[in-house]
A and B are shown apart, each in its own frame.
Chain A
Amino acid sequence: MTQPDIDTPYLADRIKDALATDERTHMLDIKIDVSTSSVCLSGSVSSEERRNAAEQVVRELVSYSFRLVNTLRVESYQEPSDTEALD
């Protein structure tokens, strides 16, 4: 478990690394924006469970002085309605 962190210029990198390596997430494609007072997660995930797991991992890493904004979308995909001809 990663120890809670204080504000640091490397915070976005540390969050990125935690989301990639934490066994609850293993997410490599979450976009992270850090300001002086907030951390925003954006992108898409495939389930509400994964959305919550990402938030939990980040919450454990950052100080509660940061507002955590979770804008991750839960995506579901449909079958295609057309076909691309390649030649």
Chain B
Amino acid sequence: MSAPADACALDRACALALAELPAMTQGRLRHLLSRRSPAAVWSSLSGPPGRHRAAPSGIDARVLGRWRERAASTDPLLRREEYRRQGVDVLVRGASGYPGRLAEDPAAPEVLFVRGDPAVLDAPVVALVGTRSCTGYGAVVARRLGRGLAASGVVVLSGLASGIDAAAHRGALGIPGAPVAGAVPGGLGRVYPAGSADLWEEVPRRGALLSEAPLGARPERWRFRRRNAMVAGLADVVVVVESHPAGGSLVTADLAAERGVTVMAVPGPVTSRASAGTNGLIAAGATLAQDLDDVLMAVGLGGGLRRAAGRSGPVDPPAPAGEGSPGGAGAALLAAVDATPTGLEAVLDRTGLGPVEAAAGLARLVDAGRLRAGPGWWARPG
């Protein structure tokens, strides 16, 4: 091993190398690091057997054998250099740089990987989470809340999944300079999902992207729950925007409730399965999140003043007038299309127009930016 620069740097490098060992779990990591520093644990593994330093106790012999094998051929400082090249820093619980709120969490990862600046998490943090298969309504609400929170100086935290997560972040990133944070299940060197590649770039630039998985780890199923726990541990408030009855964001809500973090839920239509989970949360006692003010209140950032002056309201702002004219049927068509997606068949029923007229009118309204077209449906834009 090359000459150690300082004890802290060596500890970080060894913690990183420990996290990368095969079959390493957060439980084992916690067990190993409960009494000794990362550097001490590492040297007990990498040194020749029979040295005066005792091997870690309570670890399966076979696993220990594999660790020794790997440790013998690994230089932690070189690994740390590799991470650094990829812009990833390593944080150890209890050492400097580790997010304060998370450090006290019972399930906090011992070793945390970060891209960007974790110090942004010292500001108020609101987690916006929800289903991947969201509705247009959910995406609109998530984007607006993200934007509004970012504009109010709140750090928007989310999981970078497609759907609600991505919409929330895209909304927040629309406010220039506002910091954001993300927590992902897999390694930071593995963009997932592919549709969030832009967020994967932009979030660290504007704040911090965190993961407890080593650089190249696959986003396996069990890691999602760990990620959700991290989100719950980092947030001041968790807002579930849309969730299916057994959705993963309900897990986040449960984990947050266990930690005493305020859980809020955005209500939705009773006909939408994507809102069944959130409506259920409200019934179970979660705080109602109807608009930005509700969330800002929960974080303790005013909102009360504006609230007293009258609810800013979930009502859609009037759509900007487009340059294209929707034609005579335009008004009737606009009236026939809801904020939730409306199919052509329903539009025909409501307007009494023929299919050609209706289809043409809808395309004109889309062209003018007054409607949004989905697969076989149309809806008011957010």
A-B complex is real: no
Please give the residue numbers on chain A whose beta carbons come within 8 Å of chain B beta carbons, in ascending order. none
Name B's A-contacting residues (CB within 8 A).
none
